[in-house]
Chains A and B, each alone.
Chain A
Amino acid sequence: MKAEELHIKLAEKVRGDSKYLADVTSANALGAVQSGLQSDDFATRLGEIAQDDVTFPDIKSIAGPTGKVYFYSQKFMTETYARILARVKAEDPCLTIAETVREESRVYPRVTNTELFKYALFRIDREEIDKHVARVQELYEDIKSIKSPTGSVYLYSTRYLTPDWAAYLAKKVEHPDS
């Protein structure tokens, strides 16, 4: 198979994963595309594809928290969603929670309801969430929790939010204006 054909096949594989599986693609999972190539080869070629904004403008790469690189098609997936998936694939729930909380505190900014992590996308065992929420605050000193009057638990990062601001935002989430 010529290099150009292989690149097209790889790009289609990434697009298919993004569109139909709503998942990012790792070089490890590309054996079915072309036997005889090692994952390092795929990683190299996918890196080239992601750099080729002319032929493959929609194929992008994103690094997870451990540095592992994944690929996705911007036609079918946003960088935000890909970043969450790359986090999740590190299979470290505390790290996933910490990074997600930091992002929400920085971007929006808002406090993060721990119920969010029950959403299937995060692939965290529902029964284990409380344990992870406690642990994440031990592991990462900028991650703090706040309990609302109704008992819901919110997390925030002190890098981006003060305790007063976090308290206001938690109250606001629970009592939105209709």
Chain B
Amino acid sequence: MPKYGGWTGKILRVNLTTGKISSEDTFAKYMQFLGAEGFGIKVIWDEVPAGTHPYAPENKILLGAGPFNGTGIPHAGRSTYVSLLPDSPFYGVGSGHGSGHWGANLKFAGWDAVIVEGKAAKPVWICIQDENVSIRDASKLWGTGIYRTTAAIMEEIGSECASVAAIGQAGENLFGPATILTDRSGSGQQGAIMGSKNLKAVGVRGTGPVHIACTGKQLLDAIVYHTTLIGGTSGSMTPKFPQPWAEYYGGGWTNAKNVFWGGANPAVVTGTCDPHDVQSIAFRGPGNRWPWPNQDMQYSMVRGASCFGCPQPCNQGVRYTKMATFVPGETIVNECGGISTTRDYYGKYASAAGNDAYAAGSWLADDYGLGDDYHYTTGDFAYVVDQHPELLKANLPEAEYRALQPFLELRAKGDVKFIIEFLRRLAFREGELGTAFGLGSYELNKRWKFPPMTQQWQERGMGKAVAWNTTTWFAPHHFEGQQVGFILNSMYNRDPTMHEQTHFNEIATEVDPKVFEAVGLVNSGDAIDKDGNTGPINEAKIRLAKRLSADGVIHNSLATCNRSGASFFSPLKERGYKGDSAIDAKEYSLITGDAKTEEQFHEVGLRIFNLMRACTIRSMGTKNMRAGHDKFPDSAFDHPDWKDKPAFTPGIQRMDRADMEKALDMYYAAMGWDNNGAPTKETYHKLGLDDVADQLAKLNLL
């Protein structure tokens, strides 16, 4: 029995250069950083020197779980992969996130995380079977897709209960946005890091327990309580259609009496889904969610699929038999972004792309491990082809340019053959097209001499598929909520993957704003503007931004779900739709025995967030983050569509520069940072990061 519950107490370290496999103590060095993301950032800070190229053997990747994985706590089936981001211009630290059962299996095997360092001389995979760990030959798997790799490794381990975190051809060929898929699902990033280490997969089968500090009854009570806070996928708290039990409607629960999973045998009617009936949580969504272009796809829906211990399947398991005409498979299991990504490669012809293109594109993108759930590559490609086709002609060799034309004509018709051809070129980095797009948006822009970003913002609009700022170069994600969303998008080295923030704004559209009173540390309805009716910055919005800054890294460290699992709200009217903002702290205290209040737990998140900030400051070599990192796109303040329309006009998304600078001032102050956005020595000290402050001081970065 480890010193605390939840954690196994051991972290696995595998050096692929030397073949050395070792174990180290979780509690001595890492416990105050909570779990996967916190552990990973700590490893990068301690062990990876500034300036290290992401693909260099000196870079490291931590694949980790958290103290909740494997315990049965809902929404705790995730896993997180931390490393230097493959396509960050300044090699900033960041994470990718996986789902399935991999994190739980790692814990059952007796490990909290795996640190992979060095580079194998030839393709390998890491086999973890409880305490038995080996580096195995992956020569026969290299060059194959994730589906085949996953099946082959499960067979070699000899258990259908094994979990596999694998990359496809995209990761092998260092396609920047490539993903790691765990148990054939997951979304985004770090696949190319594994590829750079000749690491095809990490397969794991655990048979041991995860010890907890509380009694079984206390755990069961906590799980039952947690289910009263669960809404629908992506945190929505209301049904899409009016239901007899619902005071509000219009949200994301797609269930209804006439909505069914027609691919199941027999078909499943999703029904009315009274929120008191926890057995129907799975039917609230997905279903015929918006990624599918055609409502007929509900005839193909077989079931939802969820991570370990999660009652809320956010992945859609779809059988689309016609798909077998185009690819070697007829089922897809993925969430909305994973399914819809390929739509955007069709750009202005997206509406012409039907179910064939969606299905085949989604299957191939998953098998190749292309990732790109957040549409970086898709946006750049559509921009070039639809708005600046001269860039194709200027940058592609003539033969490649000519060979591409028939497929672009198919694209204009929404033909599935386009996506099949195009995704292969990306995954195998074929020609100049595959080479350039695989470098990531920043290098692609330089290599192909894209128009200046100021022009792109005007042409492409401020939204997905355009770099948020010219430092991080990541497309924004979840930037609703205006000032809060803007701040969050500017603090990370990639998009913030902050679904919890989206919840606030979805809820604002779905229910009465009174629900925002007494939401934990935020505690004010002033934190939320009605969607599309932004007001000036205020203290409540800053409290929300600070709270969410900590929550994001807490969830990525606990390896819980920030998408559907955040619990500020409840679908229950008798609770006033209020969730329990202290639930993470309560469950942490229960599982680990390390009692923490909501405020104390929030501080753990701030510790991780500030260590990430320190990594970024060190990577960039400047402590002036306001000027160098925390920038906003010009188009947020000035866009032709908003001519003569002032900021804070309903429906006008123009932001006010002075207001946003004031927002940064207020956020920096609330975070204990100086006027340039660098944490102060006092802040590092308060968070137990004195050693970090000392190192930064030596670099003149404090």
Closest to B650 in A: A165
The answer to whether A165 touches B533, judged by C-beta atoms less than 8 angstroms apart, is yes
**Does A167 sit at the interface, judged by CB under 8 A?**
yes
Interchain CB contact (< 8 A) of B530 among A109, A120, A176: A109
Which residues of A in the span 136-155 have a Cβ within 8 Å of any Cβ on B? 150
Please state if B250 and A104 are interface contacts (CB–CB under 8 Å). Answer: yes
Of B245, B256, B290, B650, the residue contacting A164 (CB under 8 A) is B650
Q: Which residue of B lies closest to A18 (CB)?
A: B244
Take A80-B242, A150-B351, A177-B502 as given contacts and tell me if A165 and B480 are in contact as well, using a CB distance cutoff of 8 Å: no
At the interface with chain B, which of A37-45, A50-58, A71-79? A71-79
Q: Which of B336, B464, B532 contacts A165 (CB 8 A)?
A: B532
Q: What residues of A have a CB within 8 angstroms of the CB of B652 in the complex?
A: 164, 168
Quick check: B290 and A176 within 8 Å, CB to CB?
A: yes
The answer on a CB contact under 8 Å between B247 and A79 is yes
Nearest chain A residue, comparing its CB with the CB of B563: A178
CB under 8 Å from chain B, chain A span 163-178 = 163-169, 172, 175-178
Smallest CB gap from A23: residue in B: B244
B-chain residues with CB within 8 Å of residue A18 when the two chains form the complex: 244
Given the complex, which residues of B lie within 8 Å of A167, measured CB to CB?
651
Interface SS, A side: helix
Contact A81–B246 (Cβ < 8 Å): yes
Query: CA–CA, A172 to B4, complex, Å?
Result: 46
B649 proximal to A (CB < 8 A): yes
CB contacts (< 8 Å) of B337 on chain A: these are 178
Most interface-central of A108, A161, A167, A175 (chain B CB within 10 A): A108
The reply on A95 being an interface residue by CB < 8 A is no
Q: How near does chain B come to A88, taking the closest CB pair, in angstroms?
A: 11
Contacts of A80 in B (CB 8 A): 242, 246-249
Q: In whole angstroms, how far apart are the Cα atoms of A79 and B652 in the complex? A: 33
Give the chain A neighbours of B649 by CB distance below 8 A.
164
Contacts A78-B247, A110-B250 given; indicate if A162 touches B650 (C-beta within 8 A).
yes
Q: Chain B residues near A164 (CB, 8 Å)?
A: 645, 649-652
Check if B531 sits within 8 Å of A169, measured CB to CB.
yes
Asked whether any CB of chain B lies closer than 8 Å to the CB of A121, the reply is yes
- Bound CA–CA A110/B479 (angstroms): 19
CB-based contact B244/A166 at 8 Å: no
B510 within 8 A of A: yes
B residues in contact with A176, CB < 8 Å: 290
Within 8 A of A (CB), among B384-422: none
- What number of B residues sit within 8 Å (CB to CB) of A? 42
If A78-B246, A177-B480 touch, whether A172 touches B241 (CB-CB below 8 Å) is: no
Minimum CB–CB distance from A47 to chain B (whole Å) comes to: 23
B340 interface contact, C-beta 8 A: yes
* Contact status A165-B463, CB under 8 Å: no
A166 engages B373 (CB within 8 Å): no
Nearest-CB residue, chain A, relative to B241? A119
Q: Let me know if B653 is at the binding interface, CB within 8 A.
A: yes
Question: Quick check: is B676 within 8 A (CB to CB) of the other chain?
Answer: no
Compute how far the CA of A107 lies from the CA of B464 in the bound complex, rounded to whole angstroms.
29
Q: Are B340 and A178 in contact (CB under 8 A)?
A: yes
Q: Is B245 a contact of A78 with CB atoms below 8 Å?
A: yes
Q: Tell me which residues across on chain B come within 8 A of A162, comparing CB atoms.
A: 650-651
In the complex, how many angstroms separate the beta carbon of A63 from the nearest chain B beta carbon? 18
Asked whether any CB of chain A lies closer than 8 Å to the CB of B258, the reply is yes
Query: What's the nearest-Cβ distance from chain B to residue A33, in Å?
Result: 22
A31–B23 Cα distance when bound, in Å, is 79
CB contacts (< 8 Å) of B651 on chain A: these are 162-169
| A22: interface (CB < 8 Å) | yes
The digit string for A108-133, where 1 denotes a CB below 8 A from any CB of B, is 11100000100111000000000000
Shortest distance from the beta carbon of A146 to any chain B beta carbon, whole Å: 11
Residue A30 at the B interface, CB < 8 A?
A: no
CB distance from B167 to the nearest CB of A (A): 22
A78 to B477, CA, bound (A): 35
With the chains together, A77 CA to B509 CA distance in Å?
22
Shortest B247–chain A CB gap in Å is 5
Q: Is B42's CB within 8 Å of the partner chain A?
A: no
Contact status B532-A108, CB under 8 Å:
no
In the complex, whether A69 has a CB less than 8 A from a CB of chain B is no
Chain B residue at minimal CB-CB distance from A169: B532
**A108 and B336 form a contact (CB under 8 A):** no
Q: Which residues on the A side are within 8 Å of B242 (C-beta)?
A: 80-81, 84, 119, 121
Query: Who on chain A is nearest to B290 by CB?
Result: A176
B445 within 8 A of A: no
For B290, list chain A residues within 8 Å (CB). 176
Residue B243 CB within 8 A of the other chain: yes
- Compute how far the CA of A102 lies from the CA of B345 in the bound complex, rounded to whole angstroms: 38
Closest chain A residue, CB of each to CB of B375: A178
Contacts of B607 in A (CB 8 A): none
For A120, the chain B residues whose CB sits under 8 A away are: 257-258
Question: Is B75 on the interface with A (CB-CB < 8 A)?
Answer: no
Q: Smallest Cβ distance from B255 to chain A, in angstroms?
A: 12
- Proximity string of chain B (111-153) to chain A, C-beta cutoff 8 Å, 1 when within and 0 when not: 0000000000000000000000000000000000000000000
When A and B form their complex, which 4 residue pairs have the shortest distance between CB atoms, in order from nearest? A164-B651, A165-B651, A165-B650, A178-B337
Ordered by A's residue number, 9 sampled pairs between the chains whose C-beta atoms are within 8 Å are: A77-B245, A81-B243, A109-B530, A120-B258, A166-B651, A172-B532, A177-B479, A177-B480, A178-B340
Please list the residues of chain A having a beta carbon within 8 angstroms of any beta carbon in chain B.
Answer: 18, 22, 76-81, 84, 104, 107-110, 116, 119-121, 150, 161-169, 172, 175-178
Starting from the known contacts A168-B650, A177-B464, A177-B478, 8 additional A-B residue pairs (CB-CB under 8 Å) come to: A76-B244, A77-B245, A78-B244, A81-B245, A107-B248, A108-B509, A165-B532, A175-B463
